[in-house]
Amino acid sequence: MVVKVEQIAEEGLQLNESIGLELLTRMLSEDGDTGFRPIRPSRLNATLRKMRDGVLVRGQFTVHLTGPCKRCLVDVVTEIPVPFTLNLMNRASREQDEESGSIRFCVSNCSSLCPCTWFVARNARACVRYAGRI
């Protein structure tokens, strides 16, 4: 799905989109076999709002999974709610903020979702300062 900033009205844009089994399966297996398998598609509910230098995305979806019990290996079905907030900035604004020093990072190469920054990246375990507390 692609949303252009121009499509976001002043009051925001509501999304209610399906997340297919293929995408969920690919995301769960991206870092190797976790043992978890999605059992049905999910539904993404999100709100996009234009901000001064980007777009604020707040949303949630629930992943319906099956995975082995850690004791007896019997498959267990579970649901995991996934709320999220993303602050998407255009590249020029981000680079300008970084050069001016108005954005704080826990470490100079922080590339994670952590309490010390507005940026979101792929690997939430990469933040050295907040490791284990995310």
pLDDT digits 0-9 by tens, 100-117: 555 555 555 555 444 444
Q: Are 66 and 39 in contact (CB under 8 A)?
A: yes
Tell whether the model's pLDDT for residue 40 goes beyond 90: yes
Q: Are 48 and 33 in contact (CB under 8 A)?
A: no
Tell whether the model's pLDDT for residue 126 goes beyond 50: no
Q: Are 34 and 68 in contact (CB under 8 A)?
A: no
Q: Which residue has the higher pLDDT, 44 or 93?
A: 44
What band does 11 get if pLDDT is binned at 50, 70 and 90?
A: confident
Note the pLDDT of residue 48. Answer: 92
Tell whether the model's pLDDT for residue 83 goes beyond 90: yes
Q: Which residue has the higher pLDDT, 123 or 28?
A: 28
- In the chain, pLDDT over 90 holds for what percent of residues? 36
What band does 133 get if pLDDT is binned at 50, 70 and 90?
A: very low
Q: Please name which of 82, 94, 10 lies closest in space to residue 46, comparing C-alpha atoms.
A: 82
Give mean pLDDT, residues 13-25.
93
Q: Which residue has the higher pLDDT, 73 or 124?
A: 73
- In the chain, pLDDT over 70 holds for what percent of residues? 66
- Helix (H) / strand (E) element for 96: namely helix 91-100
Helix, strand, coil percent content, the chain, rounded in steps of 5: 20, 40, 45
Strand partners, 38: 65
